[in-house]
A and B are shown apart, each in its own frame.
Chain A
Amino acid sequence: MTVESIVFYLFAALTVLGAVGVITVRNAVQAVLCLVLTFFSAAVLWMLLEAEFLAVTLVLVYVGAVMVLFLFVVMMLDVDYASLKSGFTRYLPLGILVALALFGAIYWVIRSEVLGEMPEPAKHSAEYSNVTVLGKLLYTEYFYAFEVAGVILLVAIVAAISLTFRGRRDRRGQSVPVQHQASREERLRVVSMESGPRQDAHLRKETDVKSKRKRKTKTKAKKKGDEA
């Protein structure tokens, strides 16, 4: 029993547990979190295979971005869980059939001889860097496939935006570029006021200490012109 095998069995169990949780828990938010757990423990399993680049990318892309958006949507939905379960018995036979067919297909692919005793994956030396090896392969041997994948992703992004962006123009949003163009001239008017005694000067109470102090030092005639 090495440390690796302890970690492997722990996280393999967590992966399966999470996957079972996705389809059995009642609440949709909890189901999404179970899926996150599955991804995360799968990433740990990849890490054990010394595929650290793939493992970290799995966490970064799927756990850190895709599932967050998923959770975002599920959280906002108001799902009636009772109505979701209504057709359960009716579709159960079909479900079992599909599950059996899928299991059979998987079993047929990974024959019985593979399912028996599995050799432990070969360890690499300390200098082995998964990132370097992957990068060299991707940018030399599989360069065109890599570029094509990139272009497909770009097309998918543009398509997704153009499909979902309705371009509503009647909403009440502030347009920041327009706000930036506002200049002082159109917002602010500097008015030069004629100085002189206020029309209501005799009605105002003189409570301000500062103005009282001023009054002492200034002459009576000038006091009238003061702001009071």
Chain B
Amino acid sequence: MLDIIIDFFIIGTKIGLILLPLILAVAYTTYAERKIIGYMQMRVGPNRVGPKGWLQPIADVIKLLMKEVVVPSGANKGLFLLAPILFIAPSFAAWAVIPFDAELVLANSDVGLLYILAMTSIAVYGVIIAGWASNSKYALIGSLRSASQIISYEIAMGFALVGVLMASGSMNLGQIVQGQEGGFWHWYWIPLLPLLVIYWISGVAETNRAPFDLPEGESEIVAGFHVEYAGISFALFFLAEYANMILISVLTALFFFGGWLNPFQGIPFVEDITGWVPGMAWLLLKAGFFLFLMIWLRATFPRYRYDQIMRLGWKVFIPVTVVWLMILTFMIKAGVGPWFSGRGVF
């Protein structure tokens, strides 16, 4: 019995070591977003709380915690309060299989890639239930949009990941990264370039971020599915959205950009002087770049029209992925480049 308790304690500590930095990262991603978009729009962004506004996220969190949670009349109370939890739980659970370094992973699962897809796909329940339980027209419209959008882009995303799977021959995230060993030109972003673009854009659409933020659509349906939420229940939605952003960025780095691997591998001199950098730093650097890209997208592009989103997902992305999977098959069988050498059959 005692060893069971010790096991639980160890696993719990590991989970805490992943989740606490994640929550902190989420808080400062919101700060980064406001600052970056501020500078992009020739403003300064938050600069009042603490030095250069560094304490702004803390102030926001305290404000949200102090606010009253309002349950609208006619709402289904149980489901209304359950929805934010259902939204945030999968986006945290997905981090279980993320390898931060060669040995640094909570669950080294052989179905890691499928697990990630499954977790990101069940997050949609939070959105749907939030919209339905709010007893509000705008919320319902928002949740319907979100459901159709997430399901549509999940297919393109899944197909793009089939490419990663074919290239690496494994669903274990650690092995996917190890398959890209050998420096910048050995990573999968070159042979899988169209799939990378599709995966990235689908990821932005999956997280309901601009320019795919129709489920929220502040200018037309106020705030979409979370219009009735206030205080901590709203904060959970917010937290989950940013946690998903970070997750998608980390996954892109893992699948296409060599995860924790040093980009200077194989370059004689530079490899030696960057050898001391821990793998996790490379991963976070790469993920940070994609996080910045996501914020940049939001500052740059106007919102898509609904029919344009559906067209892009179904009529552009899915056919392109299918065609590229066929090309990829030939590339693998021909043993093209440094990526698939040794696997060719011709």
Contacts and interface: CB of A to CB of B under 8 A. Distances in A.
Contacts of B311: 176
Nearest to B82: A33
B115 interface: yes
A49 interface: no
A63 B118 contact: yes
A56 B76 CA distance: 30
B110 A68 contact: no
Interface in A167-201: 173-174, 176
B147 interface: yes
A-B interface, 5 closest residue pairs, ranked by CB to CB distance from nearest: A64-B121, A60-B118, A59-B118, A56-B114, A56-B111
Contacts of B118: 56, 59-60, 63-64
A138 interface: no
B307 interface: yes
B143 to A, nearest CB: 8
Interface stretch (A69-77, A81-89, A218-226): A69-77
A69 B110 CA distance: 28
Given A30-B79, A64-B121, A72-B144, A3 B7 contact: yes
B132 interface: yes
B307 A176 contact: yes
Contacts of B114: 53, 56-57, 60
B198 interface: no
Interface of B: 1, 4, 7, 76, 79, 109-111, 114-115, 117-118, 121-122, 124-125, 128-129, 132, 140, 144, 147-148, 150-151, 154, 171, 305, 307-308, 311
Contacts of A129: 110
A131 interface: yes
A121 B154 CA distance: 35
A3 B151 contact: no
Interface string A125-137: 0000111100000
B122 A59 contact: yes
A64 B128 contact: no
Interface in A15-50: 27, 29-30, 33, 36
Nearest to B7: A3
16 contacts: A3-B4, A3-B7, A33-B129, A52-B109, A56-B111, A56-B114, A59-B121, A65-B121, A68-B125, A72-B128, A72-B144, A75-B128, A75-B140, A130-B110, A174-B305, A174-B307
The number of chain A residues touching the other chain, given as a range, is: 20 to 34
B132 A29 contact: yes
Contacts of A36: 125
Contacts of B1: 1
A75 B83 CA distance: 15
Most chain A beta carbons < 10 A, residue from B7, B109, B118, B128: B118
B132 to A, nearest CB: 5
Contacts of B154: 64-65
A29 B125 CA distance: 11
B207 to A, nearest CB: 16
Given A3-B7, A29-B132, A173-B307, A56 B125 contact: no
A181 B203 CA distance: 29
Contacts of B129: 29, 33
A63 B118 CA distance: 8
Contacts of B148: 72
Nearest to B148: A72
Given A30-B79, A53-B111, A69-B151, 11 more contacts: A52-B110, A52-B111, A56-B111, A56-B114, A56-B115, A60-B114, A68-B121, A68-B124, A174-B305, A176-B308, A176-B311
Contact of B171 (A65, A72, A131, A173): A131
B327 to A, nearest CB: 21
B161 to A, nearest CB: 11
A9 to B, nearest CB: 15
Contacts of A76: 144
A131 B111 contact: yes
B68 to A, nearest CB: 26
A176 B304 CA distance: 12
Contacts of B117: 60, 64
Nearest to A130: B110
A61 B92 CA distance: 20
Contacts of B307: 173-174, 176
A71 B110 contact: no
Nearest to B315: A176
A72 B110 contact: no
Contact of A60 (B4, B79, B121): B121
Given A56-B114, A130-B110, A68 B132 contact: no
A75 B132 contact: yes
